[in-house]
Structure 1
Amino acid sequence: MLAVPQPAPVRARLCRTAGQMTGMTAIILHDLGSRPESRAWFATAARAAAESGDGQLYAWVRGREAMVPLNYGAPKAAVEIAEQARRAAGARPTAAATLAAAVAARAYALNHQPEQTRAGLAAADTLMNRLPESERSDTWLTYGKQKHYVHLSHAYTTLGDTRHARESQQRALELSAPTSAMTRTLLHIDSATCSHHNGDSEEACRRTIATLTGLSGDYRTGLVHRRALDLYEAIPTKHHHERAVRELRNVLAI
């Protein structure tokens, strides 16, 4: 339809719909661990969103796109994209602005920038508290409390602030449906990582093993595998001979 001349308002609506659909496709591919395909779909989504003239949709696409490098080992790139999303979203309390601030905080935490992390978390909290009800529903394009606490969990866990991390994990689990297998798994791995930060790497490994072995093979790939591997790699090499650490490595190798 976009290849055929259209009136400007129709073309804008088509581009907006295309941006939403391709953005959702990119998110699914990201969760499955298909990074090159995800990046390609995000590029298409960003072009469509930009052409639609919908600045908030563009900011949402870029905010979600930042999670690809964030979750797969490139936090500096994630910071850059997340900050682009924040600038595009502006200062109004919107779902896209809140998402961008939360993702930026996570990226800063992974980049070992605690001051910027806490500033991003404070901005995300402020925006969340001012977010209109219409922007808080549980859809792809909105930003509800459950999503907020999931982001906070990862940011605080990475920061090593285990008290706030555990509070966020508890709230996120309370708000997550029992069928949300991936989200709940990531929260359990965050919780296990908090045990590692508190000095009990053996407990962290055992809890992660229990979480992974309780899943079907299809759920142990992509983002779940990456998050569990992050925990394993955070454990100093001198402990890799210990039984629980070896068992976690073996589970990750399956």
Structure 2
Amino acid sequence: MKRRQLLRGALATGLTGTALTALTTARQSLDQALVADPLADLSDLEAATETYGYGYHGQPPTRVLADLVTDFAELRPLLLTTPQPVATRVRVCRTAGQMAGMVAIVLHDLGARKEARSWFTTAGRAAAESGDRQLRAWLWAREAMVPLNYGAPRAAATLAEQARHAAGSHPTAAATLAAAVAARAYALSHQPDQAREALAATDGFMDRLNASERADTWLTHGEQKHHVHLSHAFTALGDTQRARESQKRALELSAPTSSMTRTLLKIDAAACAHHDGDTEQACHRAIAALTALPADYRTGLVRRRAMDLYNSIPAQHHRLSAVRELRDILAP
């Protein structure tokens, strides 16, 4: 409890040097521990991991990050204690891979790209030791979203294709996510044929997912998440009609507390308006979405997506008052 409170305090002012040091220490402790054998019952930590998978639930990302890292640190003694059955170590490593992956997701959302990649590396080591190929594929697909959302779509496509290969051809959440991320990466890389092939694969997997794989969590691939990915892919392709269909459906399925997701969808809608020639309306929509967002969420991924919209506006429109207002809101 004390560790959790200290980490929450360190993160309260953002990803400062102190907070990042604490995050690195927690990650490195597991890296060192992965060479040992774990202890007994993991039920509580497995249950905690399942709970974290349901996302932010209206909590600030930094608070979720503090809680995740605190529980993640509890895995270390399980890895250091010997001897243990192979099945127990598999459970420990799978839980470690899932938790570390979710820490990386939050760091990605906050804009801490370097730290997110480090946690994905740790998660990958744990997943590899667990022998869970679907978890490994899921982690590669999630990791691909770091370069995807921060300006390196070709690197994202490479990682997404790794994930697709690892996931295989069976309809799993990891296979569906990998195809969806690949579609977005190809769309942003101006490779429309590859993007549409990946989109077709995404739809095909989605149609065959079983109920447990369609749950609305970070670890699975529900209909809401499906349409969030389609929204971005079709927006990048300039297929604004299909993008708007997915935006509408995703918003219908998104809880009011899903502040970040709802804002990203609204920025996609603004980008569609710009693509269709109404730049002023696009800026007004983006401004409304950003100003309605709690301050804790108006950073990282959300800011980057809005910056992508601003940067796509030709210089001759920069004198419009709405464009200037969007620029001012996005100023550091």
TM-score, with length taken from structure 1: 0.98
**1:133 match:** 211
What does residue range 58-73 of structure 1 map to in structure 2 within 5 Å? 58-73=136-151
Whole-Å Cα distance in 1 between the matches of residues 286 and 212 of structure 2? 37
**1:2 match:** 79
**2:127 match:** 49
**1:144 match:** 222
1:167-204 deviation digits (Å, cap 9, x = unpaired): 00000000000110000000000001000000111110
Give, in angstroms, the shift of residue 10 of structure 1: 1.7
Secondary structure at the aligned position of 2:264 is classed as helix
1:211-239 deviation digits (Å, cap 9, x = unpaired): 11112222210111000000000011222
Whole-Å Cα distance in 2 between the matches of residues 189 and 139 of structure 1? 22
Whole-Å Cα distance in 2 between the matches of residues 205 and 228 of structure 1? 9
Give, in angstroms, the shift of residue 242 of structure 1: 2.0
Whole-Å Cα distance in 2 between the matches of residues 53 and 43 of structure 1? 15
4+ residue runs of structure 1 moved beyond 4 angstroms? none
Whole-Å Cα distance in 1 between the matches of residues 85 and 118 of structure 2? 28
1:65-118 deviation digits (Å, cap 9, x = unpaired): 100000000001100000000000000000000000000000001101000010
**1:245 match:** 323
1:164 aligns with 2:242: yes
Give the AA of the match of 2:79: L
1:138-190 deviation digits (Å, cap 9, x = unpaired): 22211100000000000000110000000000000000001100000000000
1:91 aligns with 2:160: no
What does residue range 1-254 of structure 1 map to in structure 2 within 5 Å? 1-5=78-82, 6-253=84-331
Give, in angstroms, the shift of residue 2 of structure 1: 2.1
1:49-71 deviation digits (Å, cap 9, x = unpaired): 01100000100111101000000
Q: Structure 1, unaligned stretches of length 5 or more?
A: none
Give the AA of the match of 1:100: A
Identity percentage of aligned residues:
70
Whole-Å Cα distance in 1 between the matches of residues 245 and 218 of structure 2? 24
**2:18 match:** none
Give the AA of the match of 1:34: A
**2:13 match:** none
Secondary structure at the aligned position of 1:88 is classed as helix
Secondary structure at the aligned position of 2:232 is classed as helix
Secondary structure at the aligned position of 2:247 is classed as helix
Whole-Å Cα distance in 2 between the matches of residues 139 and 182 of structure 1? 15
Q: Structure 2, unaligned stretches of length 5 or more?
A: 1-77
Whole-Å Cα distance in 2 between the matches of residues 12 and 219 of structure 1? 35
Secondary structure at the aligned position of 1:199 is classed as coil
TM-score, with length taken from structure 2: 0.75
Whole-Å Cα distance in 1 between the matches of residues 88 and 162 of structure 2? 27
